[in-house]
Amino acid sequence: MTIARPLALLAATALCTIAAPAVFAQDHPAAAAAAAHPAPPEPQVRTVDRSGTFGGQRIDYRVTMQENLLSADDGTPEAMVVTTSYVRTPRDTSRPVFFLFNGGPGSGSVWLQMGAFGPMRVAIPSDAQDDGGPPYPLLPNPDSLLDVADLVFIDPPGTGFSYLLDGTDPERYYGLTQDAEAVATVIRRWLNENGRWNSPKYLGGESYGTTRTATVVNQLEGSTYNDVGLNGLILISTILDFAAREPTPGNEMAYVTTLPSMATTAWFHGRVQGASAAAVAEEARQYAIGPYIHALLQGNALPAEERAQVRAELSRLTGLSETYLDRADLRVTDQRFYKELLRDQGLTVGRLDSRYTGTDYDDAGETPDDDPSFYGIDAGYTAAINTWTRETLGWETTREYQSIGSDPGRLWDWSLGGRGRGAYLNVAPYIGQAMRQNSNLRTFVAQGYYDFATPFFGAELSLNRTGIPQDRVQFHYYDAGHMMYVRDEDRHQLSEDIRAFIRGR
């Protein structure tokens, strides 16, 4: 209801509101902060009850999509974080709850939600073909994990429909530790509001989401709260040790970690011989940490005879010519490999999933024009999340869903403990510390054989270090790439493997 006011009163009120803040704010910092941060909108909540068959069980569940307002210590509102939870009904607090997010940084949870574990999924080609134009079918997903756990998908600030409020400094949220603090706050709040503190808890993500998993577990079980016990970490396409991925001059590990991925990719495209991707991967692993790294570390002192032997073996493992390998000084970057492997066919291979191939503007370039394994799927996923949230869940917003938001990645603070990304950035020790201090905490690692964004050998090398209990880390491998769930067989197998991991607590 609106109450009419006399015109004179309205005029006087207007004059007061124009003149007063400038004087008042000088003596009242809180008022100045409030003026810089307009009052946030009321957080939106949408709830829908549905049912489906998952893991062979008929499940009734409630979908709750909601905004969560995050504020500074002085109460100044700063960010809206959207969570989408799928909770079996009637509610059972003894059920496990699985908190999930994607990566980027800047990536919304659309990929895991609409591709792997949500109750509905987008249907795109399973055989590494382009998804083409719409419509993209939205289908029930029997591989959802709702039969074994309630699911909470989190879109950190700057991803999905989550955003920073006007006046918020991006440095408050866009960074390794800042982002982890925000996600940990949202998780603790969800546990409070849903009465789930004593439920078994799993935390996990994909790509940078595995980095986020490590930093968030440090917030929950380490440096900040130390009060949220976890049962398992689920890492999909893992990146924890960033230094080992940067092919800068002198960093020989960048070539070691990608060699097995080059070998499996060459095998997939028929350029090398081998019994299976797993067999080729193992042969390349052993060579990478044996003769290959031994040769690279010798630098210019490498004897000519040994160089010739290494060059021949690299050619056999990667499908690249000895001439090309010699010109590259035995060090082929992943970008060059994408372009060179199938150059004679006029094709490039994908970064996220090297089963995909693309056609560039010309065949003479040094690196590919783009990644065919990303543009081959992105339109379908974006259409699916907008259809699901806006039409089925009734989400109302004029904001665009940020599948890959530009600002978080562009403005990200990569410092950790006072050291920048140029130093040895490695968050794997956070996982080791959490596992040493929580005897029930286990780690599940899922890797695709055809993933160059987060190579499987890099994940192995980062998690077999001192301080990480090896008897509670398990690896699983799939015949696809970064998003192994785009392949129907691997989506089902991934679901079965995680289902067994959760039940095995």
- The per-residue pLDDT for 406 is 83
Residue count of the chain: 505
Query: Considering only CA atoms, which of 57, 142, 159, 153 is closest in space to residue 98?
Result: 153
Dihedral in degrees, nearest 10, Cα atoms 269, 271, 277, 278: -160
* pLDDT winner (highest mean) among 18-22, 363-367, 450-454: 450-454
Same-domain status, 124 and 161: yes
Q: What is the pLDDT of residue 4?
A: 35
Q: Is residue 150 part of a domain?
A: yes
Boundaries of domain holding 431:
45-243+378-503
Domain-located, residue 264: yes
Q: Looking at the structure, do residues 186 and 293 belong to the same domain, yes or no?
A: no
Q: Is the pLDDT of residue 45 over 60?
A: yes
Residue, of 407 and 82, whose pLDDT is higher: 82
Query: Could you tell me which residues come within 8 angstroms of residue 274 by beta carbon, excluding any fewer than 6 positions away?
Result: 263, 267, 280, 283
Q: Where are the alpha helices (DSSP H) in 365-452?
A: 372-375, 378-386, 406-411, 428-437
Q: What is the dihedral of CA 239, 460, 204, 228, to 10 degrees?
A: -110
Q: Give the integer Cα–Cα distance in Å for 360 and 347.
A: 7
Structural Rg of the chain based on CA atoms: 25
Last residue of a domain, one of 353, 373, 393: 373
The 3-class SS string of 246-259 reads CCCCCCCHHHHHHH
- Check residue 411 and give its pLDDT: 92
| CB count in 10 Å sphere of residue 89 | 12
Give the Cβ contact number of residue 117 at 10 Å.
29
Residue at which a domain ends, from 319, 353, 373: 373
Answer whether residue 108 shows pLDDT above 70: yes
Q: Look at residue 22 and tell me whether its pLDDT is greater than 90.
A: no
* Residue/partner pairs of 68-72 with CB below 8 Å, 24 or more apart: 68/43, 68/186, 68/189, 69/40, 69/43, 70/157, 70/182, 70/185, 70/186, 72/172
Supply the pLDDT for residue 20. Answer: 35
Instruction: State the total domains in the chain.
Output: 2
Q: What is the mean pLDDT of residues 489-494?
A: 98
pLDDT score recorded for residue 405: 81
Residues 365 and 398 occupy one common structural domain: no
Q: Same domain for 468 and 409?
A: yes
Sign of CA dihedral 468, 472, 478, 484: negative
d(CA 98, CA 151): 5
Domain end call among 373, 399, 416: 373
Contact 184, 113 (CB under 8 A): no
Across the chain, mean pLDDT equals: 90
Give residue 182's region: left, alpha or beta (phi > 0; psi -120 to 50). alpha
Considering the domain architecture, whether residues 129 and 54 belong to the same structural domain is answered as yes
CB atoms within 10 A of CB 222: 15
The predicted-structure confidence for 352-404, as pLDDT tens digits, reads as follows 999 999 999 999 999 999 999 998 888 999 999 999 999 999 999 999 999 98
Q: Is 186 part of a structural domain of the chain? A: yes
209 and 100, same domain (yes or no): yes
423 pLDDT tier (thresholds 50, 70, 90): low
* Among 432, 435, 463, CA closest to 447: 463
* pLDDT for the residue 19: 36
Q: Do residue 220 and residue 138 come from a single domain?
A: yes
* Angstrom distance (rounded) from CA 355 to CA 349: 7
Give per-residue pLDDT as tens, 67-91: 999 999 999 999 999 999 999 999 9
The DSSP code for 27 is H
Residue type for position 374: F
Q: Are residues 484 and 388 in the same domain?
A: yes
Do 424 and 481 reside in the same domain of the chain? yes
- Is pLDDT above 60 for 15? no
Residue 343: C-alpha distances to residues 319, 358, 411, 454 (Å) = 12, 11, 36, 24
CA atoms within 13 A on the CB side of 162: 38
Q: With bands split at pLDDT 50, 70 and 90, how would you rate the model's confidence at 16? A: very low
Cβ atoms of 348 and 368 within 8 Å: the answer is: yes
Does residue 491 lie in a domain region? yes
Q: Is the pLDDT of residue 1 over 50?
A: no
In this predicted structure, the answer to whether residue 5 has a pLDDT above a threshold of 50 is no
* Banded model confidence at residue 26, pLDDT cuts 50, 70, 90: very low
Asked if residue 215 and residue 251 are part of one domain, the reply reads: no
Residue 219 sits in a domain whose CATH number is 3.40.50.1820
Tell me, yes or no, whether 171 and 284 share the same domain.
no
* 95/107 Cα distance (integer angstroms): 28
Instruction: Look at residues 504, 403, 472, 490 and name the one whose alpha carbon lies nearest to residue 155.
Output: 403
Any domain includes 251 = yes
* Residues 215 and 326 reside in one and the same domain: no
**Other CB atoms within 10 Å distance of the CB of residue 142:** 17
For residue 256, is it within any domain? yes
Q: CA angle 108-114-116, nearest 5°?
A: 105
CB-based contacts of 318: which residues, under 8 Å, 6+ apart? Answer: 259, 262, 263, 266, 271, 272, 325, 332, 337, 341
Is 5 part of any domain?
A: no
- What is the reported pLDDT for 222? 77
pLDDT tens digits along 172-227 = 999 999 999 999 999 999 999 999 999 999 999 999 999 999 999 999 997 655 68
Instruction: Count CA within 13 A, CB hemisphere, residue 235.
Output: 33
For residue 135, cis peptide bond before it (omega within 30 degrees of 0): yes
Report the distance separating Cα 43 and Cα 462, nearest Å: 40
Inform me whether the pLDDT recorded for 418 exceeds 60: no
- What is the pLDDT, as a whole number, of residue 9? 29
Higher per-residue confidence, 23 vs 339: 339
The pLDDT of residue 417 is: 63
Alpha helix (H) residue ranges in 361-405: 372-375, 378-386
How does pLDDT run across 228-270, given as a tens digit for each residue? 999 999 999 999 999 888 888 889 999 999 999 999 999 999 9
Q: Which contacts of 437-440 are long-range, i.e. CB under 8 A and separated by 24 or more positions?
A: 437/221, 437/222, 438/221, 438/229, 438/230, 440/229, 440/231, 440/505
Amino acid, res. 79:
A
Any domain includes 345: yes
Q: Is pLDDT at 422 greater than 80 in this prediction? A: no
